[in-house]
């Protein structure tokens, strides 16, 4: 009797157990997957996704106040907003009930934030950023080269395929990056990109709460951040607000018809971002720019939809808290709805007042770029404030890609291009919070443009290290890597030599570098290690002089230090009279060239070698 009763009880228990599993499985996604207590904005909007979930009534445990429930035309979604004020760290319980349907119970965790999370310090002009593409940098874990859950598999023989670089590869080479003088890493996106091809770049994301399994796990990403922080390094996430990939799980079952921008027929952006500020622009042109898709495989997110905007805002904040991030670089910043992206940015910087965000605003005009920086005097003309702390200096990029081949130095050629770029700094609200670079993952390789002339590389890097702003170096340039964009994007995103065990050349190790690699690396490391401790080029003032004879001279200085930078863009040696620079040289008679460690007499003239740069600390 007892045995029979026990058996029946066990069967009932097992039945209820498996029944509960099947019921719980009706909720297939919960985003954010968990949250944190003590946020400035106490409202949390939780997305519940499951078969016909909006037909259920929902309540929450522990007297958690539900302040809003939104149902959409898609009955598989339910957006539940709660107020987290005064709720302790705990597991909440949501109960879903519907007539003639079984009850679903779902746990939801609220976690403790890190101490002083809101006051976290971000990257700034004292930093140097190292940009890398994880798939092309180093393969630290060959076991995750392919994954059953993702479509594209490992194929290093295919230039545009998956090559196997991963998070562990970055962790393994942090000391190499630090030795360059870099303090910060900006990695192209690491979230899952389940496109069937060309998924290595990561900009067609299919799950923005999940690290792509071919890079590792969410825990690996957190471990990367934590390891970097032990080395006094900072981690910047590449965030995409404008679009997702066509295979994003939500694109396959849209929460609302206007979650993405849609047209009667496929419409691609016209890329004319000037239509946003152009007072004469036709409405159809501006609408096509902002709402058109970047490419057919990247649906355009509608940030004017409050649900989309809130989803992206919470996702960004979740990653900052979860991975202890130090900043964002935002892809295609000014392709998104201008009002929506401004609200997204403000929500993040309200929560983290010192958190830096640099936006990709790829324009060829300083005023067009300056318009998108927070508190821009240009933006004020049209009563617009993007709230974006930093932008990328694409006009400087354009100048650096041309000037070192222009030897005559006539009215609009040569060094005057650099000079003219900085004469427009009055347009920026904060010219010192601008990203300066000579190339990135979307441009021609600098060393390709100048056919690996290391003299021109030295001049460009010296400019990045000494002008206002935050310098960014693209992986591999420091060992002379080149690549022609005309041959396709894969040509400018080659594998770093030594990132794979079978590579014949390992440029990560000093003893394995070729002489050319050594020359590039040693110069780069010496330059940026010097920059790390030189406050005059971090935040000092700048005085520059109109270039003469294709020679550009400028000074960076503060109360403690004065640095004189001289670029000779001529193919011949010349003698530069220093009399003209008395305003900055003042009573100094000698200067130390930080690149050669030589002391120079600067009382009358300096002899300059062809195509050379001098970085002189006045003694």
Catalytically active residues are: 331, 360
Integer Cα distance of 513 and 528 in angstroms: 19
The strand ranges marked E within 364-500 are: 390-392, 434-437, 470-474
Start-to-end CA span in the chain (Å): 99
CB 604 within 8 A of CB 578: yes
Integer Cα distance of 528 and 104 in angstroms: 57
CB-based burial label for 174 (10 Å; 0-12, 13-18, 19+): middle
Which H helix or E strand runs over 341?
A: helix 338-351
Which residues face 541 on adjacent strands? Answer: 557
β-pairing verdict for 234-240 and 184-187: parallel
Q: Please, which contacts does 9-17 make with residues 24 or more away whose CB atoms are closer than 8 Å? A: none
CA-based radius of gyration for the chain: 27
CB 184 within 8 A of CB 228: no
Sequence-ordered list of residues with C-beta below 8 angstroms from that of 352, at least 6 positions apart, any chain: 117, 118, 119, 120, 122, 320
Integer Cα distance of 349 and 414 in angstroms: 40
Each residue of 427-439: b (16+ CB within 10 Å) or e?
bbbbbbbbbbbbb
Integer Cα distance of 588 and 251 in angstroms: 65
């Amino acid at each position: 009797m007892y045995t029979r009763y026990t058996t029946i009880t066990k069967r009932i228990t097992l039945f209820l157990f498996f029944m509960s599993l099947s019921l719980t499985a009706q909720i297939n996604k919960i985003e954010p997957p968990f949250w944190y207590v003590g946020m400035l904005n106490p409202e949390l909007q939780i997305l519940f996704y499951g078969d016909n979930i909006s037909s259920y009534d929902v309540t929450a445990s522990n007297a958690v106040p539900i302040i809003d429930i939104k149902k959409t035309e898609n009955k598989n979604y339910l957006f539940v907003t709660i107020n987290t004020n005064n709720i302790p760290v705990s597991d909440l319980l949501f109960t879903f009930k519907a007539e003639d349907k079984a009850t679903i119970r779902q746990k939801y965790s609220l976690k403790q934030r890190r101490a002083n999370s809101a006051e976290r310090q971000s990257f700034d002009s004292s930093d140097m950023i190292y940009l890398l593409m994880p798939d092309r940098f180093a393969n630290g874990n060959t076991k995750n080269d392919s994954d059953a859950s993702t479509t594209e598999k490992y194929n290093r023989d295919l230039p545009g395929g998956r090559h196997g670089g991963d998070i562990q590869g970055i962790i393994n080479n942090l000391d190499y990056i630090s030795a360059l003088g870099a303090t910060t890493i900006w990695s192209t996106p690491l979230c899952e990109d389940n496109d069937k091809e060309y998924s290595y770049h990561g900009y067609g994301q299919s799950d923005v709460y999940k690290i792509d399994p071919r890079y590792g796990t969410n825990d690996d990403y957190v471990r990367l951040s934590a390891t970097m922080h032990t080395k006094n390094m900072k981690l910047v996430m590449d965030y995409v607000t404008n679009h997702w990939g066509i295979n994003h799980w939500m694109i396959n079952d849209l929460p609302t018809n206007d979650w993405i921008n849609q047209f009667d027929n496929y419409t691609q952006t016209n890329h004319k971002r000037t239509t946003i500020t152009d007072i004469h622009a036709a409405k159809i042109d501006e609408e096509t720019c902002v709402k058109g898709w970047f490419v057919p495989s990247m649906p355009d997110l509608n940030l004017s939809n409050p649900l989309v905007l809130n989803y992206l805002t919470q996702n960004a904040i979740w990653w900052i808290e979860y991975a202890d991030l130090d900043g964002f670089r935002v892809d295609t910043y000014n392709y998104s709805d201008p009002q929506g992206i401004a609200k997204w940015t403000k929500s993040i910087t309200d929560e983290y007042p010192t958190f830096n965000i640099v936006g990709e605003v790829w324009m060829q005009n300083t005023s067009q770029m300056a318009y998108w920086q927070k508190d821009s005097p240009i933006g004020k003309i049209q009563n617009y404030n993007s709230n974006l702390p930093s932008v990328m200096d694409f006009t400087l990029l354009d100048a650096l890609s041309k000037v070192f081949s222009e030897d005559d130095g006539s009215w609009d050629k040569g060094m005057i291009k650099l000079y003219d770029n900085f004469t427009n700094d009055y347009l920026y609200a904060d010219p010192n919070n601008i990203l300066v670079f000579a190339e990135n993952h979307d441009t021609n390789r600098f060393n390709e443009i100048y056919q690996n002339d290391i003299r021109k590389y030295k001049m460009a890097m010296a400019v990045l290290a000494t002008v206002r702003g935050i310098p960014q170096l693209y992986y591999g340039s420091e060992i002379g890597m080149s690549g022609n964009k005309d041959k396709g994007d894969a040509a400018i995103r080659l594998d770093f030599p030594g990132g794979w065990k079978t590579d014949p050349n390992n440029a990560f190790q000093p003893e394995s570098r070729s002489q050319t690699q050594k020359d590039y690396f040693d110069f780069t490391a010496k330059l940026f290690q010097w920059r790390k401790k030189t406050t005059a080029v971090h935040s000092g003032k700048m005085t520059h002089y109109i270039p003469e004879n294709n020679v550009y001279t400028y000074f960076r200085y503060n109360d403690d230090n004065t640095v004189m930078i001289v670029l000779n863009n001529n193919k011949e040696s010349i003698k530069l009279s220093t009399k003209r620079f008395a305003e900055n040289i003042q009573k100094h008679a000698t200067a130390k060239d930080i690149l050669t460690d030589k002391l120079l007499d600067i009382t009358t003239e300096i002899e300059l070698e062809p195509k050379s740069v001098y970085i002189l600390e006045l003694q």
